[in-house]
Structure 1
Amino acid sequence: MPKKKIHTGGCLCGAIRFEADAPAAKPHTCSCKMCQRHTGSLTASWVEFPRDAVRWIGPSGEPSTWRSSDISSRAFCSTCGSSLGAIDDHPTVALLLGSFDRTSAADLKPAYHSYKGGRPKWWCIEIPDI
């Protein structure tokens, strides 16, 4: 029987750690104002997992949350403040790709971009080779 692929990650200080069973769903980037303010970045990179596929394994257990909308709460570490993702009311956990230990897995590659209009006019996803 093949070994199950597991993604791992966590916050900056290590108090919050997670394991998420592959495959990941809906990997995407987003430039909406809520994502920008949640991450402090012009574009956030997300991937979704069923809630039962994510285990919080760090010494602090589950992340702290802040209710950000009628359907979701933003997840963060209360010790270091790192943004980890969003925990939706329906059984979905969306994790920020920057919180993963290894970000190069093929199933984490974003497939689309939400709210392109939220990017500043000067924002360019393509970076020329130097």
Structure 2
Amino acid sequence: MSEPVYHRGSCLCGNVRFETTASLQGASHCHCSMCRKAHGAAFGSYGSVRREHHRFVQGQDQVRAYRSSAQVTRSFCAACGSPLLWHSEAAHADWVAVPLGALDTPYETPPQKHIFVASKAPWVVICDGYPQQAEG
């Protein structure tokens, strides 16, 4: 019997598709400069899942990886550039972070914190009342 699918997602062009077989945990808005640049936005919103519960189901040959820091590797679609996940080789190496904007299925629980606010864009005003962490 196959595992239940909790979420399905894809890139902008649809070449790459993925699914998670567990619920995403610890959703947050990340304001670090790398997430801002990777998304071309004020912040990236992510939920995490253990690596064994994430799988590419289409277009894995289109997935490229970029090491954005000594500890973090980001995966994206080679055709459209959409962010698909990131993972750390150091902290929580058995988890991957999935961009919530790439999900095709509803994600009902809003992110509950902002991280790396010490490096947020100066024009961003956070007023949702969620906890803010200077770093991760």
TM-score range, shorter chain: 0.7 to 0.9
% identity of equivalent residues: 30
Say whether the 8 Å CA contact 1:14–1:58 is kept in structure 2.
Answer: no
Q: Deviations over 1:62-112 (max 9, x none)?
A: 721001122221110001111122133212111111000134323xx2111
1:23, CA displacement in angstroms? Answer: 1.9
Secondary structure in structure 1 of the residue aligned to 2:59: coil
Aligned partner of 2:104 among 101, 105, 119: 101
1:126, CA displacement in angstroms? Answer: 4.7
User: After TM superposition, what 4+ stretches of structure 1 lie above 4 angstroms from structure 2?
Assistant: none
Q: Which residue of 1 aligns with 2:113?
A: 112
- Ranked by relative contact order (alpha carbons within 8 Å, sequence separation 6 or more), the top structure is 1
**Structure 1's 121 and 69: CA in aligned 2 closer, same or farther, altered over 3 A?**
closer
Q: Deviations over 1:10-41 (max 9, x none)?
A: 10111111001222121100111111111111
Letter in structure 2 aligned against 1:100: L
What does 1:1-130 align with in structure 2 at a 5 Å threshold?
A: 4-61=4-61, 63-89=63-89, 90-106=93-109, 109-126=110-127
C-alpha RMSD of matched pairs (Å): 2.1
User: TM-score, structure 1 length as denominator?
Assistant: 0.82
Structure 1 unaligned spans of 5+: none
Structure 2 unaligned spans of 5+: 129-136
**Structure 1's 46 and 76: CA in aligned 2 closer, same or farther, altered over 3 A?**
same
Distance 2:122 2:55 in 1: 39
Secondary structure in structure 1 of the residue aligned to 2:86: strand
